[in-house]
Chain A
Amino acid sequence: MVAVSKTEMTAAKEKKTGNLSMISAVKTYLPIVGLIIVFLVFNVLTNFRMVKNMPLVLSQVYVTMIATTGVFFIMTMGGLDFSQGSILGIASIVVCMVSRINIPLSIICGILTGALIGAFNGYFYVYRKIKSFIVTICTMFLFRGFIKYLTTNAPVAGSAALINFDKTELKVALTLLVLVTGFVLFRFTKFGTYLKAIGAGEKAAMFSGIRTDKMKFWVYVLSGAITGFAAFINVIKVGSVTSSGGSQLETQILIALVLGGMPISGGAKVRFENIIVGSLLYIVLNSGLTMMGFSTQMMQLIQGIVFLVFVAVFADRKSLQVIK
């Protein structure tokens, strides 16, 4: 499904002691092996209901995967973003409202909205030097309030024509577009290298000529824009936005990335594949638990435990000195 890059395999082989190489191998393969195992386990337990309902299962993955791409860039730099859900909510509302006039325009407006909120986040984070998680939980709360306000009397509904766009091929195509572009940018241009350098050692990155402040700011804008794009896909599925529109997205993204094996503080050990494997694993886990009839609280309990286990396993301990 996902090819493990050769660089990682060589690095794993050439580690000095056998112990280290085993731990590193576990870290490299755990997410994808986990994905396969979990998928098989659930299918067995539900009499292969999951395979039969794959489109339904996958239908939830597109928005998450696209938004996760943006947050992946942020977290590679060592930042955090807890406002993603609110960005999705507001962008979805904008998409709904503009879609009544013109649908392509609504996509653009969604992206712009997301970008603006991203810029808001980026300003306080980069230029006022406030910790990213503090800025983004404030904006999460702030914009959630707006969403509640805008949906006080009734959910905001989009144009009826939107339902025509709810085709799996279209959603898959759009998701792949974002993923492939993101992958090429991250893996094959200096964009990815610079992000990793900022995450691994921001001061030294600055002294190597990277314009760190500018980059940090624009990555937040980019991430907001990407989520704004995801809002379109969200809207064509649900058709309207309620006060809880997009809520929890940030936690979903965080869990998805952690399940995908991404180190919490970013840096050199991140890999783009974390996004894909993680989102799939999260969705499969969730759907599987739902299909097995677990209650919401049991699901959340399992989510929490799995999350903690994965974070502990994948944390890049050496570069964690910065965050307490």
Chain B
Amino acid sequence: MDQRKIEGSLRGYLILLLLVVLSWGIFKILTPHNFGSFNNMLSYFQASLIASVGAVGFYFVMVMGMFDFSIGANIMLSAIVGCVFATKLGLGYAGLIIGALLCGCLVGLFNGSFYVKLHIPSMIVTTGLALIYEAVANYIAGGVEQTLSADLRMFGQMPGDIILALVAFIVAYVFLNYTKIGTYTYAIGSNEFVAKNMGINVNKYKVLAFILSGGFLGIMAVLTISYGSSMVAVTGMASMSRNFIPTMGCFFGVAFKKYGIPLQAIIIGEFIINIIFFGFIALGAPTAIQDVITGFALLIIITVTTKINKGEIVK
């Protein structure tokens, strides 16, 4: 491997490590007794894997410069579909995974296709579609909380959750670095017009990115419902609250792209976010404050990582 490349990624890792230690350190000092032990950290890490899985998929969409407001609705819907396949249709683990995965990919297909066909900004299209996905989820769930039976919770605990997450990360890594999809994703994100001229079918790869992202969100749905054991179908865009944590991790990925370690940055980034969360809980902050922190933290992360180019037009 090239000397420069190793140096670059080393820098990236060091920065991430520093952030981990810093966030751990601050809360350890503030509340040493109910925070920060090895077991604590392990559970924070496990919890963070859930969002990381979704975020690595969503990365493909974000690198291209697009956005997706329907992440939360996708997770909710896929979790419910997976649950239904597993319990009501009696298909067990196979049903859980296949159901959620298929559903996630289908949602991605809809997102991508509508975006490409209708020619409207991705964030608007996905907002409208999120409304529809929520409605569909409500139809399937029928207002009843969908519970995953106790014998199907393998992915909500060690080692099932870590194994599934690891598989997902490896798949994402292969896609990003060893397939045309990865190359073209970066190409389109870099300069769509030039990419098109090079004969890259931009629309096809945008749709593929959405499908890929949807699939990973489907797996995230499996982890979510296994961890929390149940899922409720909400309406009124309430599912949007699930958008934020994967999105934040994704921003880490985009910020660390220049060090060549985007996926690793996402995983570690989500870990850091979770440390901060649990830190505040250990401090006794009310649960409502979590949202304040999330919103504020995301804003700060973006502010700090956004370079101000004089004269640039930002909408």
Contact = CB atoms under 8 A, between A and B. Distances in A.
Q: Is any CB of A less than 8 Å from a CB of B in the complex?
A: yes
B292 A142 contact: yes
B235 interface: yes
Contacts of A307: 127-128, 131
Interface residues of A, number: 54
Given A142-B295, A315-B120, A317-B119, A322 B315 contact: yes
Interface stretch (A125-133, A231-239, A272-280): A125-133
A256 interface: no
A308 B286 CA distance: 38
Interface string A64-95: 00000000000000111000000000000000
B293 interface: yes
A134 interface: yes
A271 interface: no
A265 B309 CA distance: 22
Interface in A279-324: 295-298, 300-301, 303-305, 307-308, 311-312, 315, 317, 320, 322-324
B152 interface: no
Contacts, number: 151
Q: Give the contact-size bracket for chain B.
A: 35 or more
B162 interface: no
A152 B121 contact: no
Contacts of B118: 308, 311-312, 315
Nearest to A125: B314
B114 A308 contact: yes
Interface string B107-135: 00000001000111111110111111011
B309 A138 contact: no
B134 A300 contact: yes
Interface in B284-307: 286, 288-296, 298-299, 302-303, 306
Nearest to A203: B313
B132 A141 contact: no
A251 B124 CA distance: 10
B69 to A, nearest CB: 8
Given A129-B314, A320-B119, A139 B135 contact: no
14 contacts: A128-B306, A130-B314, A138-B302, A139-B299, A145-B293, A202-B313, A248-B237, A300-B134, A300-B138, A304-B128, A304-B131, A304-B132, A308-B118, A308-B129
